[in-house]
Amino acid sequence: MLDEEYQSLRKAITRGENISKEFPIEQELLCWKGRVYAAKATRTKILKSEHDSKIAGHFGRDRTMEVISWNFYWPTLEHDVREYCSNCNTCQMTKAPQHAKHGLLHPLKLRCKPWIHISTDFITGLSLLANATNILVVVDRFTKMAHFIHIDEQDSPMVAKAY
C-alpha cells in the first residue's frame, strides 16, 4: 500500500540514520516539521478531500495549497496541487476570465466609389443549375450590389476567368 519512498524513509529512521531529525515518527506516522508525510497512494485522496469539499467549494490553487500544507507534506505538493486544480472540471467551467476586457469594435472604412472594395464568396453543392454546381458571388462593399456567376469548378483558372 505504501510507496517505496515512504518505506525507505521509515526504514532509514528506524535504523537511526541522520534523517530522523527531519522526519520524526509521531503516533506511528512519519512527519515533517509537524505535518504528516503523505504516501503516494493517499495524495490524490487528500487533494480531492481538500479541494472538492462541499464545505470548501473548490478553492483556487493557492488556497488549496495552503489548506493542504497545514496538515500534510510531500515533496511534489505544489506541482500536484497545480495539476489537480488545472484539471478540475468544475473549476474550469466556473472560472472567471482573467484577460483584459475586449476593446470596442471598429467598423471597416468604406470607400467613396463603387467597386473599389469587393468581397467574394462561393455557393457550392447546388444541383445542376444551368450546367453549374457552384456560384461565385461578388459583392461591392460600397453599393452592396452583387453579381452571381455560374462556374463549373472552383479551380483557380476557372474562377479567374469568371471574375
- pLDDT tens column, 35-84: 777 777 788 888 888 777 777 677 777 888 888 878 888 788 888 888 88
Q: Is 82 among the domain residues?
A: yes
pLDDT of residue 138: 94
Please report the sign of the dihedral spanned by the C-alpha atoms of residue 125, residue 126, residue 132, residue 137.
Answer: negative
The answer to whether residue 105 sits within a structural domain is no
Residues in contact with 13: Cβ distance below 8 Å, sequence separation at least 6, in sequence order: 19, 20, 23, 24, 25, 30
pLDDT score for 33: 73
Pairing of strands 35-37, 72-73: parallel
Q: Averaged over 120-132, what is the pLDDT?
A: 76
Do residues 82 and 26 share a domain? yes
Are 158 and 89 found together in one domain?
no
Q: Within this chain, do residues 23 and 90 fall inside the same structural domain, yes or no?
A: yes
Report the interhelical angle of 61-71 vs 40-51 (nearest 10°).
120
Q: Residue 51: its pLDDT value, please? A: 79
pLDDT band at 139 (very low <50, low <70, confident <90, very high): very high
Q: For the full predicted model, state whether its pTM sits above 0.75.
A: no
- Condensed to tens digits (0 to 9), the pLDDT of residues 7-23 reads 666 666 666 655 555 65
Does residue 19 share a domain with residue 81?
Answer: yes
The predicted pLDDT at position 41 comes to: 79
Residue 113 in domain: no
155: how many CB neighbours lie within 10 A of its CB? 9
Domain that holds residue 130: 118-162
DSSP state of 74: -
